[in-house]
């Protein structure tokens, strides 16, 4: 029997997962519209809690001011990297000339980035509430409390890294780490949600062998993570080409992006194949309204949308809407796969 306080935690945790996905969608919109530097400082936007709407509201030397601020923050970040033994990486940030190029004020991009940050604040609030309500399980499941607190620290680090993303002018590897941390936050939230839901239920027992499905699902998860990392690399390569061509000749961008797109495209075939195999293995083992079967069906739908958005990006000259959808559904695919893994992991084979 689930108590009201436990159900409240489960509901808050589910909302947290949804809001975190909305943060990723907002981030995708920011990336697809080129609004990442719409606010040149962090956490405020042009030193304001509510950003300006016209360049006349900014000081005359705003470009020099924010470039100087970025350089100062990057020097601190470079020293942090040096303390970790990453001397070459620290030097590359110190000598990155793109960081010294000021951004022109664009109210549409500024407000796009500002809304992205507001959604991020909402996610932080719900993660805090999840941590508060996790103490409901202080006698039954302390790991929920520990993981909820850990997630709050990860979000804090993610927020700091977001400031580095701005100060380093969207440096590729920083953007990639930023994305991977978003997956970590999602994974922890999904784990605590599932653990709280299953706490008062007996583990599932089926007549078929489950070990192969568990192992293959784990492999499929790893493939999806690699594909997401490759996707961020493709995005960065495309951004570089777009800048070189002054954002013209869109039909040539992919051909100039290098081999990383070929890897991303070829791995997409493996993603489709592995998920199809997972679906076949699930329907062979579960029936009716079993949660793993329903989750596997959602995975197929998500994968279809992901493929269609990928085709749109490759053959319809990178429409911004497709870019945002592609990022969201790649993350949603990972989330559903991880949730399915947790469901299957708790299932065992019947033994006479």
- pLDDT top residue among 117 and 298: 298
If you classify domain 203-352 with CATH, what class do you get? Answer: mainly alpha
User: What are the strands, taking DSSP E only, across 85-131?
Assistant: none
Computed over every residue of the chain, the mean pLDDT equals 83
Per-residue pLDDT at 172 exceeds 80: no
Cα 1 to Cα 11: distance, rounded to the nearest angstrom: 16
Contact by Cβ (8 Å): 306, 329: yes
User: What are the strands, taking DSSP E only, across the chain?
Assistant: 205-206, 348-349
- pLDDT top residue among 133 and 311: 133
Contact by Cβ (8 Å): 5, 132: no
End-to-end CA distance of the chain: 29
Please, which residues bridge with residue 45 across strands? 48
Query: Mean pLDDT, to the nearest integer, of 8-37?
Result: 87
Sign of torsion over alpha carbons 184, 187, 188, 189: positive
- In terms of average pLDDT, the best of 31-35, 72-76, 88-92, 149-153 is 149-153
The pLDDT value given to residue 291: 86
* H or E element at residue 185: helix 172-198
* Tens-digit pLDDT profile for residues 94-103: 777 777 777 7
pLDDT more than 70, % of the chain: 89
Which residues touch 278 (CB under 8 Å, ≥6 apart)?
213, 216, 217, 220, 296, 299, 337, 340
- pLDDT top residue among 110 and 83: 110
The pLDDT value given to residue 336: 96
Contact by Cβ (8 Å): 148, 192: yes
Per-residue pLDDT at 288 exceeds 80: no
Per-residue pLDDT at 107 exceeds 60: yes
Minimal CA–CA distance to 238: which of 98, 34, 38? Answer: 34
* Tens-digit pLDDT profile for residues 316-332: 766 777 888 888 899 99
* Tens-digit pLDDT profile for residues 53-84: 888 888 778 878 877 877 777 777 778 778 87
* Tens-digit pLDDT profile for residues 218-276: 999 999 999 988 888 877 777 777 767 766 766 677 777 778 878 888 899 999 999 99
- pLDDT top residue among 112 and 204: 112
Cα 221 to Cα 216: distance, rounded to the nearest angstrom: 9
Query: Mean pLDDT, to the nearest integer, of 292-303?
Result: 93
1 DSSP 8-state letter: -
Per-residue pLDDT at 153 exceeds 60: yes
**Confidence class of residue 284 from pLDDT cuts 50, 70 and 90?**
confident
The pLDDT value given to residue 236: 76
- Give the other-Cβ count within 10 Å of 289's Cβ: 7
The pLDDT value given to residue 117: 87
Per-residue pLDDT at 170 exceeds 90: no
The pLDDT value given to residue 132: 94
Query: Mean pLDDT, to the nearest integer, of 18-40?
Result: 83
Degrees to nearest 5, angle at CA 304 with 334 and 233: 55
Q: Half-sphere exposure of residue 204, counting CA atoms within 13 Å on the CB side?
A: 18
The pLDDT value given to residue 58: 81
Boundaries of every domain in the chain: 1-201, 203-352
Per-residue pLDDT at 159 exceeds 90: no
């Amino acid at each position: 029997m689930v108590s009201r306080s436990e159900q409240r935690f489960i509901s808050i945790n589910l909302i947290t997962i949804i809001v975190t996905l909305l943060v990723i969608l907002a981030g995708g919109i920011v990336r697809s519209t080129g609004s990442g530097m719409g606010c040149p400082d962090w956490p405020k936007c042009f030193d304001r809690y509510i950003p300006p709407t016209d360049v006349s509201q900014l000081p005359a030397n705003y470009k020099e001011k924010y470039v100087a601020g970025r350089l100062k923050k990057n020097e601190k970040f470079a020293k942090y990297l040096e303390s970790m033994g990453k001397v070459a990486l620290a030097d590359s940030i110190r000598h990155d000339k793109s960081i010294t190029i000021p951004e022109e004020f664009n109210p549409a991009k500024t407000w796009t980035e500002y809304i992205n940050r507001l959604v991020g604040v909402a996610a932080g609030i719900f993660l805090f509430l999840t941590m508060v309500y996790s103490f409901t399980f202080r006698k039954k499941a302390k790991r929920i409390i520990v993981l909820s607190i850990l997630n709050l620290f990860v979000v804090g680090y993610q927020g700091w890294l977001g400031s580095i993303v701005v100060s380093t002018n969207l440096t590729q590897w920083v953007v990639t780490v930023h994305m991977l941390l978003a997956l970590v936050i999602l994974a922890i939230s999904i784990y605590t949600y599932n653990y709280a839901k299953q706490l008062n239920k007996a583990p599932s027992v089926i007549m078929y062998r489950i070990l192969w499905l568990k192992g293959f699902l784990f492999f499929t998860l790893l493939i999806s993570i690699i594909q997401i990392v490759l996707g961020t690399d493709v995005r960065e390569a495309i951004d570089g080409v777009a800048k070189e061509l002054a954002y013209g000749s869109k039909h040539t961008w992919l051909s100039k992006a290098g081999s990383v797109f070929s890897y991303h495209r070829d791995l997409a075939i493996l993603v489709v194949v592995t998920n199809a195999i997972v679906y076949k293995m699930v329907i062979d083992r579960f029936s009716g309204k079993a949660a793993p079967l329903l989750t596997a069906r959602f995975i197929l739908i998500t994968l279809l949308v992901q493929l269609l958005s990928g085709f749109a990006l490759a053959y319809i000259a990178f429409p911004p809407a497709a870019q945002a959808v592609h990022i969201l559904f790649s993350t949603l695919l990972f989330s559903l796969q991880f949730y399915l893994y947790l469901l299957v992991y708790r299932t065992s084979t019947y033994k006479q």
